[in-house]
Amino acid sequence: MLYLVYILVGLLIVLGVNLMITGILAVHDMYTRRDEEEPDFDTFKKYFAQNNNIPTKLSDLFN
């Protein structure tokens, strides 16, 4: 039973690190292109979606 907890904790660590790196890359892209666009939350969401490698829809898993 304890191995299920280890698997769950491992998955949470991997997902957390992945989201953290994606957020850092989105902020970097947002501020390197701040001359073209106003840095706000909508710009962050755009670059976050562009840098995200985790499928956000179930249909994306099968493409």
For every residue of the chain, which 3-state class applies, written as one string?
CHHHHHHHHHHHHHHHHHHHHHHHHHHHHHHHCCCCCCCCHHHHHHHHHHHCCCCCCHHHHHC
Domain-embedded: residue 2 = yes
* Boundaries of domain holding 31: 1-51
Q: Render pLDDT for 24-54 as a digit per residue (tens, 0 to 9).
A: 999 998 889 888 888 888 888 888 888 887 7
**Residue 61 within a domain:** no
Is the pTM higher than 0.85? The answer reads: no
- 62 found inside a domain: no
